[in-house]
Amino acid sequence: MTPPPRRVTQRDIARMAGVSQATVSLVLNNRTDADVRIAPETRDRVLQVIAETGYAADPAARRLASGFNRIIGVFTYEPAFPSGSRDFFHPFLLGIEEYAERVGCDLLLFTSAPVVDGRRRIFHQDNRLRLADGCILLGREIDGAELLRLNRDGFPYVAVGRRDDAGGPVPYVGADYASAVHRLAERAVELGHRRLTYVGMGTSAESSHDRRSGFHAGATGADSARQITATAETADATVDDLRADGSTVAFVEDFATAVALETAARRKG
């Protein structure tokens, strides 16, 4: 059998370009510091040899040298791809992918995490968190104990959506749901609606709390501003409940539930 071709190394590149291995390393790392002077023709010669040989740096070696893998981890507490969650995760995943591409990073979706009591868990016997330089956490509800451990271990992460304290500040990026829903409820009252209903999911997530507080703050001018819990599976009964109450506008927290309610309302005329 023919042995597999030997991997091209930086030493090979240096020999073929007629430069030192240190020069190859500087070119590969795109060093342009004031104290690093490489003649343009030398840089071009090194780049040409790299292109001709198809050389790619060993990612493990680069991590040892720089301390970074250029890998961003993405952890979802709910499955990222089934239809029930797709509408929630899809725009976030698109944005993460676009930015990672722009800054030259790869994404690592942690799909090996075990499901315990119906929820994925970051920390387990074979967790691969340290393969990534940092992690983005997605989920309607995120486990406080795991946030506490991430803080304690000093692992870089950011949560999508506001999170309560977990033994220290939780870094997050999120929408101002309270202000947005507050304004929507105010607008409904301005348009003449007097019986408003907030259709929630019955969760304790911070984002849900913010939406509910915004709803009640913005609906102070209404005769009735109540809150109920519903799912897509209970859409028919929920429409009947809204009609019996005399509600003329519903604020629906979950997208899939909103679609099901509209379908049920049309079916009922």
Is 116 contained in some domain? yes
Q: Would you put residue 165 in left (φ > 0), alpha (ψ -120 to 50) or beta? A: beta
Residues 150-171, mean pLDDT to the nearest whole number: 87
Boundary (domain end) residue, out of 148, 173, 198 = 173
Statement to judge: residues 75 and 169 lie in one domain: yes
Rounded to whole angstroms, what are the CA distances from 146 to 141, 159, 172, 173? Answer: 12, 12, 15, 18
pLDDT of 65 > 80? The answer is no
Residues 180-187, mean pLDDT to the nearest whole number: 98
Structural domain count of the chain: 3
Is 220 contained in some domain? yes
Is 126 contained in some domain? yes
The values of phi and psi at residue 135, to 5°, are -140, 140
Is 66 contained in some domain? no
pLDDT of 224-236, one tens digit each? Answer: 999 999 999 999 9
Query: What is d(CA 51, CA 17) in angstroms, rounded to the nearest whole number?
Result: 12
Rg over CA atoms, the chain: 27
Statement to judge: residues 167 and 237 lie in one domain: no
pLDDT of 113-152, one tens digit each? Answer: 787 777 788 887 777 888 889 999 988 778 888 898 888 8
Look up the pTM and report it.
0.65
Q: What are the structure tokens assigned to 111, written together?
A: 């799909």
Boundary (domain end) residue, out of 151, 173, 195 = 173
Output the pLDDT for position 85. Answer: 47
What domain range is 32 assigned to? 10-56
